[in-house]
Amino acid sequence: MSQSQYKTGIPARGSGEKSLGFSTLAVHGGEPRPKLGNSLATPIVQTATYTFADTQELHDHFQRRIEREEYGRYGNPTQRIAEQKLAALEAAEDCLLFSSGMAAVTTTLYAVLGHGSHVVVTDDSYRRTRQFLTQILHRYGIEVSVVPAGDYQAMEEAIRPTTRVLVSESPTNPYNKIVDMERFAGIGLKHRVKTMIDATFATPFNQRPLEFGVDIVMHSATKYLGGHNDLLAGAVLGSADLVDGIRSLQAVTGAIIDPLAAYLLVRGLKTFALRVARQNANAQALAEFLAVHPRITAVHYAGLPSHPHHDVARRQMRGFGGVVSFEIAGDLKATSRVVDACRIPQIAPSLGGVESLIEQPALMSFYELTTEERIMVGIKDNLIRYAVGIEDTADLIADLAAALDCA
């Protein structure tokens, strides 16, 4: 079976066959035919170790004459199918799954950085990623420069001879800022520095950074890729050589995804395109409603023409994602009253599942900071982050309208 056949999961008719649509890839991509035991669903291979028929098979495995598993920390058949499906969706040469999004981030950075090296990260990248870079890696002799998001001149000026990687996120959390992928990748190419994008908010349905020349794409697969708030997983995608180097470190650190989580990820991806398309539509409608509401002072959603990066988003994205952040006229307590008055979204961290979730970043992620400290890092007391699910659009709008009116 050719590599292209294996990635799509559908036997090829010929070299001139039209590329498959996104929903078709979501259902069939990466799944071999036939599967183990002629199963239609991807089997859960629940084992920690694998047996060899004889010592010759052992020789063949280590000399890479055959492809098979050896030990659970190095991979699992269920995991491999999930990885191949994600690689097909992202149009990547290879994918590696982890036990969480942060496990993917930290292992990847450890793999590409070393003592005396330097990394540049934008100031609105995921909070825990920035914490890892600025508070942990310095212990190991790794230097970090934090530059303003969207300031490509500052990013380029921050590059040193020891710089190994540029790190950013797009869209960002919680303000939905958009990185110009071509400019970002171009800076890395010009200075021979690897580029890394956390594309969790976008998903491969809305944006494929690798197509713009970005080297490494990361996802918290816990979010949109799993889609049902019932698993933890992270993914790293890129060239086969890059991913293989990260895989070698993962084999040592052991930050692996378990077979059940991999199975749930495969199952969630079957409806991935349908879910994200609905979440895109719901978020766009919610943002447009909020943009004209008298109690709302700002809406942060790239699908609105008022968003500062709207033109960039239109150029490089299919849809604008399922997270809408907005500010109300009021203080922390007034904002809490609106959140509490909503009846459909539940108060919870995370995003990307079929259920709508709502939160105040000032309380959920930055509770330990004072108002002044939160403002310094860009988190306002009157900010609400709404991660839309797949509920009926009219119901979400009516619920939020009632909450804004009565709170």
Question: What confidence tens digit (pLDDT) does each residue in 239-269 have?
Answer: 999 999 999 999 999 999 999 999 999 999 9
Beta strand 216-220 with 346-347 is unpaired
Give the pTM: 0.93
SS3 label, residue 59: helix
H or E, element range at 145 = strand 143-147
Cis peptide bond N-terminal to 34, omega within 30: yes
Q: Is 30 exposed, middle or buried (0-12, 13-18, 19+ CB in 10 A)?
A: buried
Q: How confident is the model at residue 343 (pLDDT cuts 50, 70, 90)?
A: very high
In eight-state DSSP terms, residue 368 is T
Among residues 19, 310, 245, 276, which one has the least CA distance to residue 112? 245
Assign 4 a pLDDT band (cuts: 50, 70, 90): very low
Going by the DSSP 8-state scheme, the letter that residue 10 receives in this structure is S
CA 384 to chain centroid, in Å, comes to 21
Indicate if the alpha-carbon torsion angle 258, 260, 265, 266 is positive or negative: positive
Structure tokens at 7: 């990635």
Report which secondary-structure segment, H or E, holds 334: helix 332-341
User: Which domains, and CATH codes, for the chain?
Assistant: 3-269 (3.40.640.10), 272-406 (3.90.1150.10)
Q: Tens of pLDDT along 54-86?
A: 999 999 999 999 999 999 999 999 999 999 999
Q: Which two tokens stand for residue 51?
A: 């047996």
What 3-state DSSP class applies to 360? coil
